Amino acid sequence: MRRTGWYWILQGAGWSAVALFNLSLSMGTGGWRAAVVSVWGALAGLLVSDLWHRLLKRHPAFRGGARWPYVAAGIVACAAAETVLVYAAFLVFQPFGAPHGVAWLPYALMFWIGQFFAWTVCYQAALSMRRARHAEATALRLELHAKDVELRALQAQVNPHFFFNSLNSVRALIYEDPEAAAQMIDQLAALMRYALQSGHADTVPLSAELEAVQAYLAIERIRFEDRLRVQVDVEGGLERVPVPPMALQTLVENAVKYGVEQSATGSDIRIRACRDGNAIRVEVANIGAIRRYPNATQVGLANARKRLALALGGQSSLELGESDGWVRATLLLPAMA
C-alpha cells in the first residue's frame, strides 16, 4: 500500500509539472482553452503511462536481458498515443494560437518520446533500487538464518559433550556408592532440563547459567569430595547479563577436568564476575598449568568461542591464559545498556 501511494504521488507530481510546462509555453496567448488542453495532455499522459507501467510489470517481453528493443517500441507507441490524444484536444477546444495542419505532429511526437523516455528511465531506476533493497533484505534474512542454524548446531555438539562427561562421573560411582550415584542422577536430570530449555535461546541470564553450574558442581562434589574447592564471587547487578547457554558451564567443566581431576590433592576453582570498564568480565580459574592431553578434543572451548561470537558479536571474547600457577578462562561480555 505504501509503494502504491508513492507511485501515484510521483505520477501526479510529474505530470502536473508537464502540464505547467506546456501551459507556460502558451501563457498569454492561448487563454483558458490552452489551460484545458494542457490539463487534458497531463491526464492523458497519466493514463498512458499507467497502462505502460502495467505492461512493463506483467508482459514477459519486458523481462530478461534482451528487453530494450521492446521497451523502445513501447516508448514510441506511448508517445504516439499521447500525441493523438493531445491533437484531439486541439481539435475539440481549438485554443487561440493552436497549430494548424499536421506539420507540427512530428515535433510533438519527438517531445512526447522524450517525456516517456524520461518516465521509463525514472521508473526503471526506482524498480532497480527497490529490487536491490529487496535482495539486500533477503540476503540479510538468509545470513541471520544461517547464523541461527550454526548456533543451534554448535549447541547440539556441546550438550552431548557435557552429558558424556557427566555420565562418566555417574559411572564411576555406581558400584562404589549407589546412593551418591542416585543423587548425581537427580542433579544430572536438572541439568538436562536446563539444557533442553535453554537450547532454544541464543542467550540466557547469567543467574540461570550460575544455577546450572551449581548443579554441575554438586554432581562433581559427590565424586571428588574435598578435592573440589569452589569460590563464587559475582558482583551485584550482573544477574541479568546475557551469556550463551552452557558457555560458563563449559569453562567450569574444563576447570574440573583439567584442574581437579588431574591432581591428587584436587584444586581450587574460582568463579568471578565483575564490571571491567565498558564490559563484564567473567573468569573461571583453577590451580594448574595449560597442558596438551592426548584425549582432549577441545570441542567445548572451541564451540564456546563460536557461540559467543554468534550470539553477542565482536564485542565479546573468550581467552585462556596461565599466570602465577593459575589457569584462567576469561569471558568478556558487552555491558548492558
Residue-level pLDDT at 337: 45
Determine which of 97-106, 236-245, 326-335 has the lowest per-residue pLDDT on average: 97-106
Q: Which CATH architecture has domain 144-158+200-334?
A: 2-Layer Sandwich (3.30)
- Residue 274's pLDDT band, with cuts at 50, 70 and 90, is very high
For the chain, what is the mean pLDDT? 79
C-alpha distances out from residue 71 to 84, 136, 190, Å: 20, 27, 68
- Residue 336's pLDDT band, with cuts at 50, 70 and 90, is low
Residue-level pLDDT at 65: 53
Query: Quick check: 155 and 245 in contact, CB under 8 A?
Result: yes
Largest Cα–Cα separation, the chain: 115
- Residue 232's pLDDT band, with cuts at 50, 70 and 90, is very high
Residue-level pLDDT at 151: 53
Please report, to the nearest 10 degrees, the dihedral formed by the alpha carbons of residues 237, 243, 245, 248 taken in order.
Answer: -80
Query: Quick check: 302 and 291 in contact, CB under 8 A?
Result: no
- Minimal CA–CA distance to 53: which of 97, 8, 2? 8
Q: Which tens digits make up the pLDDT trace of 151-181?
A: 565 555 555 655 676 677 778 778 777 887 8
Q: Which tens digits make up the pLDDT trace of 47-74?
A: 998 888 888 877 776 665 557 778 888 8
Residue-level pLDDT at 300: 61
Q: Which tens digits make up the pLDDT trace of 1-36?
A: 466 777 788 888 888 888 888 777 766 555 677 778
C-alpha distances out from residue 266 to 262, 283, 286, Å: 8, 19, 10
Mean pLDDT across the stretch 231-252? 86
C-alpha distances out from residue 27 to 20, 88, 120, 324, Å: 10, 20, 29, 93
Residue-level pLDDT at 299: 60
The DSSP call for residue 230 is E
Residue-level pLDDT at 66: 52
Which grid cell is 204? 540466557
SS3 at position 95:
coil
- Parse the chain into domains and list their residue ranges: 2-100, 144-158+200-334
**Residue with cell string 558451564:** 249
Which grid cell is 290? 595449560
Q: Which tens digits make up the pLDDT trace of 276-308?
A: 888 889 999 998 887 765 555 456 677 777 777
What is the distance between the alpha carbons of residues 51 and 29, in angstroms, rounded to a whole number? 33
Q: Which tens digits make up the pLDDT trace of 119-143?
A: 888 888 887 888 888 888 777 677 6
Residue 205 confidence (pLDDT) above 50: yes
SS3 at position 248:
helix
What is the distance between the alpha carbons of residues 79 and 303, in angstroms, rounded to a whole number? 65
Contacts of 42 (CB under 8 A, 6+ apart): 15, 16, 18, 19, 22
Contacts of 261 (CB under 8 A, 6+ apart): 224
Residue ranges of alpha helices (H) inside the chain are 2-25, 31-58, 68-93, 105-174, 178-198, 206-224, 247-255, 299-312
Question: How do beta strands 267-276 and 242-243 pair?
Answer: unpaired
Residue-level pLDDT at 149: 62
**Residue with cell string 590451580:** 287
Which grid cell is 9? 504521488
